[in-house]
Amino acid sequence: MIKSKINLSFLSIAILFCIKSEAEINLESLMAVLYSQTSGEIKATFVQTYNTAEDLLDIAIEDKNWDAVLESERRSERTPAIILDVDETVLDNTPFNARSIMNNTNYPEGWDKWIYEEKATLIPGVKDFLLTAQEKGVKIFYVTNRRTVYEEATKNNIIKLGLPFDNDVDVLLTRGENGWGSSKASRRSHVSEKHRVIMMFGDNLNDFFDLPEKANYVTRKDSVLKHENMWGSKWFMLANPVYGHWEQSIYGFELLDEASKTKAKLENIRTN
Ligand SMILES: [Mg+2]
C-alpha cells in the first residue's frame, strides 16, 4: 500500500513536469492549428476545391486557349499540365506547427527535422484529383519554396503518399534551383514553355501571381479581384489559417517578437 502511494506521488510529479503550463507555451497559433487538424469544415473546403477542379478537367484539356499562367507566351502545341504548391496545398505539415506550440519554438526551428522525417500527410482531395488528371494525360508539376537541399526528402514524401511523380523531366521545382528565387514567376514561365498549364493550386497569393515586395494586406486583398476571372476555374486557393504571407503582411514583413506580433494583430482587427 505504501509502495503504491509512493509510486503515485512519483507519477503526479512526473506529469506535472511533463505538462507545461499555458504561460510556457506559445498559444498564438493554437486555434488555427486546431481548425486545420480537427475541423470537418476545412476538410470540406479542400475536398470541394479539388472536386470542382476535377469537374473542369475535360473542358480545360479540350480548350486550347485555357491557360492558367499569366507569364505564359501561349505557344501552341503544348501538353496540358497542372502546377501545385507543395506545403499546405499537397502536404499537410500541421504536426510541425503543433510541435512548435508544444516546444514553444518558432519556424524555422525544427522545420528541417520535420521534412527529413518525410511524414507529412495528404491534404484531403488532392490524391484522387491528381490521379484522375494524370490518367487524362495531364503532367503534374510541384513548385515549392522549400529549398533545394530538401528536394530529395520532399520527393520521397510525395511518392510515399502515392501521388504522381514523373521522372522524365524535373517535376519538383524548388527555391534556389537553376537560379530560381522565391518568386515563382520564373518557374511558371519555365513549365509554360513546353506545357499548357490548365490549373494552379496554392495557399498563398504568390503561388499564382507576383505581388509588389512587402505588399501590405490592403494591396494583397485588392489584387485578388484584379484576377477575378481566374479563381475557381484556372486558379484554386486552399485555406491556410496557420501561416503565410497574409500573416507576415500584418507585421510589414518584419521579424517581430511575440509581444510585438500580438500588438500588431490587435491593431489590425476591425471592430466595425
Ligand atoms: Mg504552401
Tell me: the pLDDT tens digits for 73-101? 999 999 999 999 999 999 999 999 999 99
Q: How far apart are CA 198 and CA 264, in angstroms?
A: 39
pLDDT band at 258 (very low <50, low <70, confident <90, very high): confident
Average pLDDT, the chain: 92
> What's the pLDDT at 17?
47
| Tens-digit pLDDT profile for residues 103-121 | 999 899 999 999 999 999 9
> What's the pLDDT at 28?
84
Domain boundaries along the sequence of the chain:
41-239
Ligand 1 centroid–CA 4 distance in Å is 51
DSSP characters for the chain?
-HHHHHHHHHHHHHHHHHS--GGGS--TTHHHHHHHHH-HHHHHHHHHHHHHHHHHHHHHHH-TT----TT----SS-EEEEEE-SBTTTEE-HHHHHHHHHHT--TTTTHHHHHHHT--EEPTTHHHHHHHHHHTT-EEEEEEEEEGGGHHHHHHHHHHTT----SSS--EEEETGGG--S-SHHHHHHHHHHEEEEEEEESSGGGTS---TT--HHHHHHHHHHTTTTBTTTEEE----S-SHHHHGGGTT----HHHHHHHHHHT----
Q: Which three cell numbers stand for residue 183?
A: 518568386
Cα radius of gyration rounded to whole Å, the chain: 21
Ligand 1 centroid–CA 250 distance in Å is 18
Q: How far apart are CA 68 and CA 81, in angstroms?
A: 10
Ligand 1 centroid–CA 142 distance in Å is 11
| Tens-digit pLDDT profile for residues 18-31 | 555 555 667 889 99
pTM: 0.91
Ligand 1 centroid–CA 33 distance in Å is 15
Ligand 1 centroid–CA 45 distance in Å is 16
Amino acid at 97: N
| Tens-digit pLDDT profile for residues 127-165 | 999 999 999 999 999 999 999 999 999 999 999 999 999
The CATH code that applies to domain 41-239 is 3.40.50.1000
Assess whether pLDDT exceeds 90 at residue 2.
Answer: no
